[in-house]
Amino acid sequence: MFLVIALEVTIQPMDTATSKTHATVNTGSLTNSSMRPWASNVAPASIMVQPYRPGWQDGCMYIGLTTKTSRLQRILEGLGTVVVAYSGGVDSATLAAVAHQVLGPGSLAVTAVSPSLARSELAAASGLARRFGWAHAIVRTHEGDREEYARNDADRCYWCKTELFEVLAPLASERGARIAVGTNVDDLGDYRPGLRAASERHVATPLVDSGLTKPEVRMLAAKLGLPAAEKPASPCLASRFAYGVRVTPDGLQRVDRAEEAVRALGFTVFRVRDHGDLARIEVPPDEIERAASLHEEISAALRELGFRYVALDLSGFRSGAMNEVLPSPRLRDGGG
């Protein structure tokens, strides 16, 4: 039996010490908590994680994924009520989907909106939540008001996540919930300042606790029928700025529009990197020749947005390229 609820609830703005939040929650088809499909009375336990290895046979990987999915379900059941920081990427979408199945109305997916979120990403995240009937809220964050964020040092991500968690905290407190993020096991291989902010605030990391790697998250997303399963990584727009180039609302909007222009030419995996007067374009190595053939269109579009110079990076696309200038791997934040 399913209890179908169609409602729209507006959460009144809440003030924090540094931020103001306005959230609208849309609740679609919710599962009655007494009929949770994966409910369990087993509390989360200490888990020995078997790492994913690409050489495993498909059947073995499937068994590993099934076991880890069961762990994820038990962990979420143990948390009881969660507020999922939901960007629309594969990790947060997978966590939101499983949390909805396990907890029903006890799960709320929350998307933070600021100039650093591409307009296309907000539309995709909202559309996915509506399609699957998740309770979904949109909140405003103001990380750009923080000088530590705007000056764009190597710890920028720490201040961004600090803002996010401070905005989500009153919402979670009101619901008696834990904040949960979609960090996976593979994310732990890099130094990520945002993870430090999560740890300081006891934010839950159910995908890590269940031992799920990035490939396994994608497999689980595919099993759940999520279109995000094949979605390329799309970190926040601030990750496009070279360290030391100040992050401003106008600059973020310029990068967003620049990437929309490149996307309109048929590229799906790419970055437009902002080096001040210079825009550096990264596309996969096998698309460099095509990008070069479109140099007039790309250059004209980006110059119109205010870039004085437009360059094509012959090394090709690589995630975290901005971190290559950092003196030590331990200072790299692993961003896009």
Question: Which of the four pLDDT bands, split at 50, 70 and 90, describes residue 297?
Answer: very high
User: What are the structure tokens assigned to 129, written together?
Assistant: 């939540």
User: What are the structure tokens assigned to 234, written together?
Assistant: 């799309």
| pLDDT tens-digit series, residues 13-22 | 333 333 444 4
Distance CA 157, CA 241 (A): 12
What domains, with CATH codes, occur in the chain?
Answer: 4-230 (3.40.50.620), 237-331 (3.30.70)
| pLDDT tens-digit series, residues 84-129 | 999 999 999 999 999 999 999 999 999 999 999 988 899 999 999 9
Q: At residue 193, does pLDDT exceed 90?
A: no
Residue 18 DSSP code: S
| Helix boundaries (H) for the chain | 58-79, 90-103, 119-132, 147-150, 156-175, 193-200, 206-209, 214-223, 249-263, 288-293, 295-304
> What pLDDT score does 229 carry?
87
DSSP three-state, residue 55 = coil
Question: 22 near 10, Cβ under 8 Å?
Answer: no
Distance CA 217, CA 225 (A): 12
Edge-to-edge strands, sheet with 309-312: 271-275, 278-282, 309-312
Distance CA 124, CA 305 (A): 25
User: What are the structure tokens assigned to 141, written together?
Assistant: 């964050």
Query: How much is the pTM?
Result: 0.77
User: What are the structure tokens assigned to 172, written together?
Assistant: 């979670």
User: What are the structure tokens assigned to 231, written together?
Assistant: 């979605």
